[in-house]
Amino acid sequence: MERCSLCGTPLETEATACSYCKHPVLKKRQFDEESSVTPVKSNRYVLSFIIVFAIAVGAIGTWYALTQTDSTHTTLAAPVQALSLSDWSDETSAYNQTYSSESPPASYDILKFVRQYTQTVPETANYSKTTDTLETFSAIQFATLDVFQSEVDALRTIHAASDSPVPPRLQTVDFKRFVSKGDSYQVRTVETYQLPVNQQLVTYDVRYNVRLHTDHLQIIHIVRTEVDA
């Protein structure tokens, strides 16, 4: 039984004041109510914090373990060999290569195709409308007729040197930009050709547009601009 904190008189259960000294017992009740509620609330907060903390630590631990596995993979030595020469040089003709939806051209196949085309450029510059037939020019196999004719027009500097007993020849091909746009490929090169007189050089900035025509690659557009080396 509770007693009055002032005079010690026993209190009734619902009494708000001491029946003897009228000392209020409201404060004590309020304190009791607070003390009975607060520990429950604080317990919940602590429990929630522990759960959140455990999940956060678990997530960070899992992430760290996964990244550690990846880096372990990267440090292991891989049994990799150099490519065979025919895979990356121009030993095999890129024109004869055929493709399908199951075996599409890899990006390096496009670069090889354009590089092999550049070797036909000095020959294309030699074309004469009056004496030559188009079919004899190997560039025709790589490109459309419109492209061939635009090349003949653009290669005037090399054409002027074509009569020399020492023919012009390719010196360097630098691939500068290479992107895919849907079904077509755009390749930008800087090409240097050596002319017979005093080993003079001529440099072109060239933009190619290549696409897969049925089962083989074909150049469908070329913009060739002579630039300073």
Partner 1 sequence: MRIVILLLFCSLLMGCSQEPSRIQDELDLGQYTQAVDQSSRKDPMHDAAQLMVRLETQFASYRFEDSITTARTIEKLPLPQDNPIRLRAKSIQLSAEAMLDRLKQAAGTYQIERSILDNGQEETTFPATGQLNISFGKPHTLLATVQYQHFGMPDAPRSDTETVRFEPDLSARLALSEWLVSYVFSRAGLTLTFEGPGGKRIYQLKKVD
Give whichever of 9 and 200 is closer to partner 1, judged by the CB atom. Answer: 200
Of the candidates 1, 182, 228, 229, which one interacts with partner 1 according to CB under 8 A?
Answer: 182
CA–CA distance, 48 with 151 (Å, rounded to integer)? 75
What are the beta bridge partners of residue 57?
none
* Least CB distance to partner 1 at residue 166 (A): 6
Of the candidates 6, 47, 197, 223, which one interacts with partner 1 according to CB under 8 A?
Answer: 47
Q: In what order do the strands lie in the sheet with 201-213?
A: 169-181, 184-194, 201-213, 216-227
Of the candidates 32, 33, 34, 174, which one interacts with partner 1 according to CB under 8 A?
Answer: 174
3-state secondary structure of 115: helix
Give whichever of 112 and 143 is closer to partner 1, judged by the CB atom. Answer: 112
Of the candidates 48, 92, 98, 200, which one interacts with partner 1 according to CB under 8 A?
Answer: 48
Pick the piece of the chain touching partner 1 (CB under 8 A) from 33-41, 150-158, 168-176, 212-220. 168-176
What is the residue-wise DSSP string for 88-112? HSSSS-STT----SSSPPPHHHHHH
* Least CB distance to partner 1 at residue 12 (A): 39
CA–CA distance, 195 with 166 (Å, rounded to integer)? 8
Residue 78 lies near partner 1 (rule: CB under 8 A): yes
CA–CA distance, 147 with 114 (Å, rounded to integer)? 13
CA–CA distance, 222 with 208 (Å, rounded to integer)? 5
Of the candidates 43, 88, 146, 200, which one interacts with partner 1 according to CB under 8 A?
Answer: 88
Instruction: Report, in angstroms and rounded to the nearest whole number, the Rg of the chain calculated over CA atoms.
Output: 43
Could you list the residues that contact partner 1 (CB under 8 A)? Answer: 44, 47-48, 51-52, 55-56, 59, 63, 67, 70-71, 73-74, 76, 78, 80-83, 85, 88-91, 104-108, 110-112, 115, 165-167, 169-182, 185, 194, 199
